[in-house]
Amino acid sequence: MLTYQINNNKKTEIEYLFVDGGYLDKVISEVGKNFWNSDSLPIDYQKLGFRFDKIFYYNCLPGRKNGENDTDYECRINLSVEFYEKLKMLDKFHVFEGVTFGRKNKIRQKTVDIMISVDMLRHSFRKNMDKAFLLTGDLDFKPLIEALILEGMYTTVIYSDTSFSKELLFVADSNQRITIKQIHDWLPDEIKPNYQLPELKQNYRIESPVILKQGEVKNKQITLLGRDENEFWLQINKSTFWKFHSEHKLIWFYEDMINEKIKWIK
């Protein structure tokens, strides 16, 4: 096992993160669009990778969309090139580009999965890392994870509920789910006020609430309260409250946080 020493003389395991950029883009776009009405969240990638010793990011330049003219396509290409160049400048980040094939609705990324597999196996064989983290939900990576496990490498799959394979999670040593709160944590601090989350309040008194429905989850009593069309509350047992401006998104956030569905009784 490779280790290195820090000031307090404690041994720390070396952890590498391998990112399927196409998968991450899809997750961020879906959550951003559905929760904050934005499909282009400006992620701070230094926050995403701060705990890891090295981060390897893999993606492709975008393929041409159906009916897209040369000017618009070149603009999207330039934006991607600019993004990759900025990512390459970040400490500990290493960017690798695959190839995009196809047109219209049959655009496919090629070589990215092979590049990730080769690099993860190479670093495992050379004992460069103690733990390997793979951010993806794609079933195609199951043979890779199985091979790493057989080599004795501890592997963790980082995935989102928006798209993942249970079979991939089953073969890994552990898994970590990307939550709405996690994505919000990755946003630059200066713009976070523009992307609000439900607000937690303890021992709070709500004036003249209307009970909308009641339920239970994980042995907790859940009550959905409302005061007007833009103010909704989730009361957890009797003393904990979550407040948000959308009933649907408030419930979604809480269920996403506890990773279980509320059973509504009435």
Characterize 11-32 residue by residue with b for buried, 16 or more Cβ atoms within 10 angstroms of its Cβ, and e for exposed: eeebbbbbbbbbbbeebbeebb
Q: Are 2 and 127 in contact (CB under 8 A)?
A: yes
pLDDT tops 60 at residue 3: no
pLDDT of residue 109: 54
* Beta strands across the sheet bearing 154-160: 93-97, 54-59, 15-20, 131-135, 154-160, 174-178
Render pLDDT for 217-237 as a digit per residue (tens, 0 to 9).
Answer: 999 999 999 988 889 999 999
Q: How far apart are CA 251 and CA 262, in angstroms?
A: 8
Cβ-Cβ contacts under 8 Å for 61 (sequence gap 6 or more) = 77, 80, 81, 97, 100
Q: How far apart are CA 12 and CA 264, in angstroms?
A: 45
Q: Which tokens is 158 given?
A: 């980082």
Render pLDDT for 165-179 as a digit per residue (tens, 0 to 9).
Answer: 999 999 999 999 999
Q: What is the mean pLDDT of residues 193-217?
A: 93
- Give all domains of the chain, ordered by start, each with its CATH number: 3-193 (3.40.50.1010), 198-264 (no CATH)
Q: Which tokens is 174 given?
A: 């552990």
Whole-number average pLDDT of the chain: 91
Full 3-state SS string of 46-114: HHHCCCCCEEEEEECCCCCCCCCCHHHHHHHHHHHHHHHHHHHCCCCEEEEECEEECCHHHCEEECHHH
The percent of residues above 70 in pLDDT, for the chain, comes to: 92
Residue 2's SS3 state is: coil
What is the reported pTM? 0.88
DSSP 163: B
Q: What is the mean pLDDT of residues 47-53?
A: 96
CA 221 to the chain's CA centroid = 29
CB neighbour class for 145 (10 Å; exposed up to 12, middle 13-18, buried from 19): buried
Q: How far apart are CA 99 and CA 108, in angstroms?
A: 9
Q: Are 2 and 14 in contact (CB under 8 A)?
A: yes
Q: How far apart are CA 183 and CA 125, in angstroms?
A: 32
CA 43 to the chain's CA centroid = 11
pLDDT of residue 104: 47
